[in-house]
Amino acid sequence: MINLKALVYGVEISKLSPLVYYAGNEEDIKIGDLVLVNTEMGLDVGTVRIGPKEMTFEEIGYEVTSIIRKLNDEDMIVYKENIELAKKAKKITEEKAKELNLPMRILHSRVVFDRSKIIVFFGSDTRVDFRELVKELAKEFKARIELRQIGIRDEVKLIGAIGLCGQQTCCSRFLRTFDSIKMEMAKTQQMLINTAKISGRCGRLMCCLAYENEFYENSLKCIPNEGSTIEYENVPAKVITVNIFLKQVTLQIIENNQPVMVKLPFEYFKKSCPMGD
């Protein structure tokens, strides 16, 4: 079977959104260029972030369409006017939502290139009946209005925040997609299970728990869990602590409660993980 390849560019439709691949002419298009493309929202403007790059259709995973064109001078005028119109739409949506007593946090708005549609993104802690709001906005802007409620992780990604590390949150700085973060990751990394210490500004488990998880999984795969019982020098011993960085395990001999500190690897772990050294 022949894997057909296409010369594509990765285009960012909005800040840190997942890249969408489009075909294009490598002589005309460069990284950083603003281009006109068809999106799920309609005709819109995106920024070229990757390319040109040869990829198979299997790698891309969907049918690739072509970049329509780089923005010309006339397009740039429309684009800048749309940015201002989007700001106005956000402000008016905030005012009208307040008048209607709707529990909404208006976060961002976007106007598609031909101004046929305005998309307003909002956050809320509950379901919102915004039908009346849509009618009011449609009358105001004479365009199709789409209100999109986004989750709390996407909300923090959109507005930005400072993480517990003192830096700008990863999601608003460089992450394009969210990994599935599980409590097991914190346990694997031997962190204190204190929700306040392992949760991000969104209130969900911190994205950075995924960064080093593979290292910990590989390092601990041949080592029994803390609290488990093993045989040490022909007597049963309980594993009290495991320190990956010092490559050290603290055991407690069960018959006399004697603590023993053992450097890794020792014979038990060699047997447990024969592929290890």
Structural domain spans, the chain: 5-71, 76-150, 155-216, 221-272
**CA–CA distance, 11 with 248 (Å, rounded to integer):** 48
Using CB atoms within 10 A of its CB, is residue 225 exposed (0-12), middle (13-18) or buried (19+)? Answer: exposed
Per-residue confidence at 170, pLDDT binned at 50, 70, 90? very high
**DSSP states of the chain:** ----EEEEEEEESSTTPPPEEEE--TTT--TT-EEEEEETTEEEEEEEEEEEEEEEHHHH-SPPPBP-EE--HHHHHHHHHHHHHHHHHHHHHHHHHHHTT---EEEEEEE-TTSSEEEEEEE-SS----HHHHHHHHHHHSSEEEEEE--HHHHHHHH--B-TTSSB-HHHHT-SS-----HHHHHHTT----HHHHB-TTSSBPGGGGTTHHHHHHHHTTSPPTT-EEEETTEEEEEEEEETTTTEEEEEETTTTEEEEEESS-HHHHHH-TT--
Mean residue pLDDT of the chain comes to: 89
User: Residue 1 has what pLDDT?
Assistant: 45
Contact predicate 178/17, CB 8 Å: no
* Residues in CB range of 3: below 8 A, 6 or more apart: 56, 57, 58
Helix orientation angle between 131-141 and 73-99, rounded to the nearest 10 degrees:
140
For residue range 119-167, what is the model confidence (pLDDT) as tens digits? 999 999 999 999 999 999 999 999 999 999 999 999 999 999 999 999 9
User: Which is more confident, 247 or 137?
Assistant: 137
Main-chain dihedrals φ then ψ at residue 68, nearest 5 degrees = -70, -50
Considering the segment(s) 76-150 as one domain, its CATH architecture is 2-Layer Sandwich (3.30)
* Span 75-114, pLDDT tens digits: 999 999 999 999 999 999 999 999 999 999 999 999 999 9
Task: Give residue 41's pLDDT.
Answer: 87
Question: What's the order of all strands across the beta sheet hosting 144-149?
Answer: 105-111, 117-123, 144-149
Q: Enter the pTM of the model.
A: 0.80
